[in-house]
Amino acid sequence: MLFDTFLVTVSIVVLPHLNYTNFNSPRGYTGSPGALAAGFVGAIAVFGLICGIIVTMSAVLLRLKPNQRQTWGILVLVFSILGFFGFGGFIVGSVLGIVGGIMTLRWKPSPTAPATPPQ
């Protein structure tokens, strides 16, 4: 199934870009629907990559600054949901990001006991 999807994607995105006359565009050639589709696919892929970078940075900052956990949890959750529109990290990445964002928002750190000086 995955290989079939790959072949269909290649046939829709890559093949229309090939110009079989020595790869020179004919006079007056302004583009094709395949070129338009490839532009949209590229823009969506870049958007997904940016969402993934923001989720990763938020997760690192959550580890470094746990007292701001609501901020980082909201960023992880929002950009994981938006990541679905940018191909979603093979869907697994977005699902894991959503679960991690929800867990971060629900997380309450354990209360720390006041430090008493050793006697």
The pTM of the full predicted model, rounded to 2 decimals, is 0.66
pLDDT of residue 99: 94
Angle, in degrees to the nearest 10, between helices 33-64 and 69-83: 160
Per-residue pLDDT of the chain (119 residues; tens, 9 = 90+): 655 566 566 556 565 555 555 555 556 556 677 777 877 888 888 888 888 889 999 999 999 999 999 999 999 999 999 988 877 677 888 899 999 999 999 988 777 766 676 66
> Looking at the domain assignment, is residue 12 inside a domain?
no
Residue 76 within a domain:
yes
Range of the domain at 62: 36-107
Q: Which of 101, 84, 82 is nearest to 92 (CA)?
A: 84
Separation CA 74–CA 100 (nearest Å): 10
Per-residue confidence (pLDDT) for residue 12, from 0 to 100: 61
Q: Is residue 102 part of a domain?
A: yes
Q: Domain count for the chain, please give it.
A: 1
- Tokens encoding 41: 């696919």
- pLDDT of 30: 62
21 inside domain: no
Collect all residues with Cβ–Cβ distance below 8 Å to 65 and sequence separation of at least 6.
72
Task: Classify residue 20: in a domain, yes or no.
Answer: no
Whether 112 maps to a domain, the answer reads no
pLDDT at 110: 77
Query: Within 10 Å of residue 34's Cβ, how many Cβ atoms?
Result: 16
pLDDT reported for residue 104: 93
